[in-house]
Chains A and B, each alone.
Chain A
Amino acid sequence: MIEIENVRKSFGPLEVLKGINLTVQKGEVLTVIGGSGSGKSTLLTCINGLEPIDSGRILVDGIEVHAKTTDLNKLRRKIGIVFQQWNAFPHLTVVENVMLAQVKVLKRSKAEAEAEAVRQLKHVGLSDKLNVYPSRLSGGQQQRMAIARALAMSPDYMLFDEVTSALDPQLVGEVLDTLRMLASEGMTMICVTHEMKFAREVSDRVAFFDKGVMAEIAPPEELFGAPKDPELRKFLAATH
């Protein structure tokens, strides 16, 4: 369970999170929508401790992310994150990309790590690309590799930060299909996305962020069918 309690966060004079309260249950798929600069991506990087917060707290399975005593490197094994930029390690082959953290962080043997890497890459449909370098992959393939890399750490939670935003339109589908597959397998996921159709399909709940505030949260049929927040109505009208 991820519990976010009254989290505030500023970048200099700009307050990007103005007291967010949110709980994500195990097995839940939450999508977060909202305009640019609404704070939704920042929230994700706060959840795995990449960004510090100014006040409030975030608990992952009861462990306070930003407590001084928390071993962030250990906590991050529970939380996979995939970014807008796919961030393939360019000097490693696809299979090595997926093996690296398993060997370094989880101390798996090379053979174990490779077996798991092959399994995850097969899962995301890249079994024919194991030994090529990322530069030979399309953006969609690199993004799926990044997803496999995060999954290979056997995380309990997956965070997706606009993972299709930097992709050519024809490549978006393959990545969304991968996310749909994960959702159907019961992975706990928080997806920040601009893909409204996707949000409507896979989510248990959808949250709408507006200027650092979570303006509305509801199951998709409710949020898209009968939006209450006026900003959300404007947002939905503009994106349709």
Chain B
Amino acid sequence: MFDTALTANDLIFLAKGAGMTLIVTGISVLLGTILGILFGVFRYQVGPWWAAPLTFVLDIFRSIPLLIQLVLANAFVTTVLGFRISGFTVACGVLSLYTSAYCAEIVRGGIESVPTTLRRAARSLGMTWGQDMRSIVLPLATRVALPSWIGLALGVMKDSALVFIVQVVELLKSTQILITRLQEPLFLLMICGLFYFVISFPVARLGGYLERRWSND
């Protein structure tokens, strides 16, 4: 009834691709979030005028298709600057900045959601700016920002498929290689989709879990 040339080895090959997707996504989301927090806090602190140059750069990362960013960054770093770095490094670098551009907006929105009166109350108790940030703003902003951040992380995971352009063999590229060889595109794409689902689903559920845990207040 159903016949496929797919072997266990091919599945392992796909799993390795999925592993690469996870690694690239993990690194980019981690670095992108750290940078995004720094950029977001900076933008909030200094106000729109002084943050304008940073905002402009981040807007570039948000506006230009990732594929173009990857190709241009790769060409710039390897050909113009002459660095001998791997496509993997370029991919992680570009994707991190891309993530940070979105994350900065999420962070800024989260901080702005914390009422200034609450922060005045914290400061009037003698808490410093840093203590207020850590104990009041961060936990409250996180609750507001979390759904958007989860969305961003899931988006980056799927966008990471584009890093094939700099010779990184991740899940979708692995699938394409198999499609070329086995000529079973629909079946292989289904399996590929299943892999994406398996690695995305826990992240999506994590959001629901945290929201439930925080709903006591």
Q: Which residue of B lies closest to A87 (CB)?
A: B121
B217 is an interface residue with CB less than 8 A from chain A: yes
What 0/1 pattern do residues 61 to 89 of A give for CB contact below 8 A with B?
A: 00000000000011011011101010101
A105 is an interface residue with CB less than 8 A from chain B: yes
**B86 — which chain A residues lie within 8 A by C-beta?**
none
B1 is an interface residue with CB less than 8 A from chain A: no
- Please report whether the interface of chain B is mostly helix, strand, loop or mixed according to DSSP: helix
In the complex, which residues 94-128 of chain B have their Cβ closer than 8 Å to any Cβ of chain A?
115, 117-118, 120-128
Q: Could you tell me if A90 and B127 are in contact, using CB atoms closer than 8 angstroms?
A: no
- What separation, in Å, do the CA atoms of A77 and B143 have in the docked complex? 29
B89 is an interface residue with CB less than 8 A from chain A: no
- Tally of chain A residues near chain B (CB < 8 A): 29
What 0/1 pattern do residues 192 to 236 of A give for CB contact below 8 A with B?
A: 000000000000000000000000000000000000000000000
**B125 — which chain A residues lie within 8 A by C-beta?**
76, 100-101, 105, 149-150, 153
Q: Could you tell me if A89 and B123 are in contact, using CB atoms closer than 8 angstroms?
A: no
**A135 — which chain B residues lie within 8 A by C-beta?**
217
Chain A: minimal CB distance from B14 (Å): 42
In the complex, which residues 126-157 of chain A have their Cβ closer than 8 Å to any Cβ of chain B?
133-135, 146, 149-150, 153
Pairs A-B, 10 closest by C-beta atoms: A87-B121, A101-B125, A105-B126, A76-B126, A133-B217, A77-B126, A81-B124, A104-B131, A91-B139, A90-B217
Chain B interfacial positions (CB closer than 8 Å to A): 115, 117-118, 120-128, 131, 135-136, 139-140, 143, 214, 216-217
Chain A interfacial positions (CB closer than 8 Å to B): 45, 48, 50, 73-74, 76-77, 79-81, 83, 85, 87, 89-92, 100-101, 104-106, 133-135, 146, 149-150, 153
If A45-B120, A76-B126, A150-B125 are given as contacts, then 7 extra A-B residue pairs at C-beta distance below 8 Å, sorted by A number, are: A48-B124, A80-B124, A91-B139, A91-B140, A91-B217, A104-B131, A106-B126
